[in-house]
A and B are shown apart, each in its own frame.
Chain A
């Protein structure tokens, strides 16, 4: 079964087509790395998948559901460019709030466990605004994984993370994959992405020009994918 199915999705900002009939299929349990240069449309596509934006044309189905109701959204975790936590709430208050919004059965237990997973249990009562950048990023990771989502939509998840946060995130992503979760992540950091990715999609100027399984060439040479598929598309 497909976890994500985008069928000929178009998105216009005014007259500018940010997405031009992009189609993407992600099977359940796969880790799809969404690659592409700046302005290729990665964030726009991810925002449409996360129900943060509407496609101008085309259809998106998550777990076979085009209506994107609350049941589907409960299965989805989203980590965007911003950390998505409140500076004026403590770490535990942030996670309790999101636990309630996400419909977690026992928010207190889930929040404590999530803080333990990212190594923030000792500062659970500290205000997010008092945290260092790295701690805030780990809190954001704890928030995204709080409800053990079946689908993770991650927009540039490794960008500006410190080493510890990268290790925490990679461990959580591996754990999520091992329990059968699906991951779609946009990234510039091909090396970190390729360590986890099972599938790769390359976006060029709002179009998906290549999609397929990860290959040893991609792992050995991060530029290979762009040279082989991206540049060809540009020449055409």
Chain B
């Protein structure tokens, strides 16, 4: 295996048990031989107890005790599988409206989203919700799987109808890359192996798409953004006066010798050295974790950003954000929160709720402006000091933030900067 070139792809699957989501994930794990024998025999045993013939694939994704008892998924569960081409991380999220927060969580780091549609029912409210969240979180690739094709006689017409339905409503959304695949997760058609029941389909099976999606250009390599996490000051003679600025490059490429500016101070300098672990390197790019030293002895600390002079984010105190409320405790008007944005923390206030969004119809709601769990809304935020921000559509790291309630210390909202 030439594993040294293999990439990591994170994808999210949203849907309910009825869509066959668990069966699909079970199928991917099973057909890619990621299931171990002891797991298989446990599932075979449970399948038998339930009176199911053969193996119930959905049982491979069975979760915690409460979830098994109630037959639901409460939280985001992460699953892993590897093929000779890639390593995959699945963020498996429940699809009901009360779990919008989990879908948003799973979507936040995903390269791709798999949206399941039951071929018998076509596009339903839930489909629209999933597509909206995928577009809100700017997941670069959407794979729409029209499942249970075996129950509609593998009909090309049914498939085409659903594709048309999806295209119609999703034209209102910002989705860069969408592909459609007719599948039967239960029988394995077009999941890992090409279906013999649907020769009319000229596209590729789901796993092939996941293995070949072009993801290296999804990370912004143009705008160099380096938020400083911590400063390394080794107390050792051979590293006297050493100050390494450690962090994970959010976007762009940095090279030794680059002229840089540190915000918010505005001091300028040149990159003297870059370290990736113990190795000294000439250049580094997102999403590498590195440390760098500068030619000049200037004051840099956690929360600062090291940037190129001619390409800087906005440093502002008031901006608009699409917010997803994640907490049982509703937002109080003009309440104060702590914002976490890259490695920076500031006090902030929700100045105004501009509108709330009905994520099933995409209609704006102007009359009701209270923010409850799972609500998505556009707000104006004011911070006590400037934040160095980019629009989320240009940068998923410097364009995202969370709000923390200082009274409970909990993460109460996720925001995407407009």
The judgment on whether A and B are partners is: no
Interface residues, chain B, with chain A CB atoms under 8 Å away: none
Interface residues, chain A, with chain B CB atoms under 8 Å away: none
